[in-house]
Structure 1
Amino acid sequence: MVMDSKAMQKLKPCLGVIFLQFGSAGFGIVAKAALNQGSSNYTFSVYRNAIAAALFIPFAFFLERKIRPIMTFSIFWKILLLSLFDPVIGQNMFYAGMKYSSATFASAMCNLIPALTFVLALILRIETVNLKSVRSHAKIIGTLVTVGGAMIMTLIVGPIIGLPWTHKSQDNSGSTNVEDPIKGAIMIGTGCLGYSLFYTLQAITLKSYPAGLSLTAMVCSLGAFLGTIVTFLAERGNTSVWALGWDAKLLAYVYGGVISSGITYYISGVVMNEKGPVFVTSFNPLSMVIVAIMSSFIFAEQMTIGKIGGATVIVIGLYLVIWGKSKDQKEIKLTQQQHESKAETNPYTNDNAKTNLANGLQMISGPDAV
């Protein structure tokens, strides 16, 4: 019984992350269905973030009442930027790109996020690269490979891989959108860049504002508010985009707010606390596979050599980046253990030295994408 209990404890993080990938895949499907039915990408973002804010605010108010830091102008400015990067830029561009592409294509492009985050961390000097280190080579090559995979998916079509259940009328569940892979890739790529900017700034913001639930509630609330302004400007005079009904659009809004912005945040936070962000990120391609299978049934989406080849290249690049990051984490832990061992044998080690080492290690690790 003790062994079974230990095995279950080890298995829980894996089960949690697999659940997240099924949840992410499900959202990709319902989001595509909603967009096919004419949902505006602007109102999609507004409703999703409004629902997420309504979900988070009560928990943040009661659970973080005693640990919530005092709001300063610097922190508020960062929260405002976070609200622009993800809810406004990231989500709007991603949903707009989905209108011109398939659910599988959009899911595969999401694997660019860890590589883009790594590049941003390099630019901001949060991430360091040692050109003599194999792990640094892996991160650089992996980043280039993921970008190459995205280009393959966008520019190369190739023969269609015939699946029996896709040989039907290609109406895409009443889709009113026309596929344009290049336009879709540019929009989704811009959305992924917005997400990467969000993750990079989020890691910085959490250092000065560690109340995660409160931060999420404010980002979602501000995101819904700013998104409403953008929607009124973009959809001038078109009030029909705000209409709600008992259809796929309402399901997508609720699903996105509760699952993608609610439960996903909580579970990923718990797993990251135990296993680290590299562990969570390594499961990302699973969502792409699930979406590809579900889309072929639901939307009769046809697979091509270009899509499969490009997606495979992206996954290879992703795992090169993840491998490099995992080696970074191991080196950081080893350095910490060595310092702690020296500190135990040296009674004169002071707190300032520990603080300086911790700051140095943080600069080495940098923010990780989820």
Structure 2
Amino acid sequence: MSSRLPEPGADERDHSERLLQHVRELIVSQGPLSFAQYMERCLYAPGLGYYSAGKAKFGEAGDFVTAPELGELFARCVANTLRPVLDALGDDADFLELGGGSGAFAEAVLKAFDTDGPMPRRYLILEPSADLRERQRERLAATLPPAVAARVAWLDRPPEQEWRGVLFANEVIDALPTTRFAIREGEVYEEHVALSGEGALLRVDRPADALVAGAVRHVERDLGEPFAEGYRSEVLPQLPYWMQAVAGTLTHGVMLFVDYGYVRREFYLPERRDGTLMAHYRHYAHSDPLWLPGLNDLTASVDFTALAEAGNSAGFGVAAYLPQSQFLIGSGLPQAFEDAYLQATDEAVRYRLAQEVKRLTMPDQMGERFQAMLLARGLDVLPLSTELLAADQGGRL
């Protein structure tokens, strides 16, 4: 691994070794793990995985910065777009956030709803990490008015009863355990993680099962040509099942996904022949997912065409798809910035606001790398702003 990465401390190395031993035991007992199984263990193994342990993950002290960590402008724009949906659905509309992170988004969006209304009946957070859940609980209890904080509840699983409202997911799809595939002599292989004779982790290819091979062949058919020999990338064959699980009971409302990724024909460009998999450690990105497992956030870019297909299969239609910069502008970012700027108490705050807007919207920052997709179901009228609808690029999907 490159020496440019920060040196982990002794406690970090000990933690990684415990997870590594867990992975070794799994491989010894059941054979090589698919890369998706390995990634799931690295991120979510209870008490050991990246999102399940106590290490700081978000913000300057963690490994990466998400849009809600930059300030409140992102959440205010999301509130602007989803407010008319909540208003149209009435008093029984809920807000469901998938993966609450540090709680920064929930804090900011609930403050926005509290100021301008309407307030969702309940603000639900589906958070698999007990550690993050506790951090969210403490943050919201300390920063929100008691009556607002009382609307927040945490879920262990998606709602099982039918409900109405909005579902929001920021940088969630990129963290779903991804399948890695490779093309060898025209056949589809799946990447696995095995052990060397010395007990070290190594990546190996094995013939893909019918589910993975079928998902890859579907992509090839949609692209109109087969992948080249040696091409390697990612695919999420479980995405339609995941979508049905998390959103199948949402009968009336809108889902908003924000993540980094591409439409399918850009995701699988010939020159992107080793996929999009990345590891993130202390604000450094690298390409070795086997390096100190448990200390890195492992992610893959999102195929937004696949996300649209999964939404369609669950009964939703694509309402809008556009880069984050255009989504935020169409959601009132100029006015939100102006209001915050005028209320700022000193030049340092105004400078931070300007930097926040740049990071959210500049093409070389989050503005073009991140995309927003709105999916809707059960609404007679789609209450989205004309600016947002005018910027829609759904035809690119």
For Structure 1 versus Structure 2, the TM-score category normalised by the shorter chain is: under 0.3
Which structure's relative contact order is higher, taking Cα pairs within 8 Å and 6+ residues apart?
A: 1
TM-score calculated relative to the size of structure 1: 0.24
Higher strand content, 1 or 2: 2
Q: 1 or 2, which has the higher helix percentage?
A: 1
Name the TM-score, length of structure 2 as normaliser: 0.23
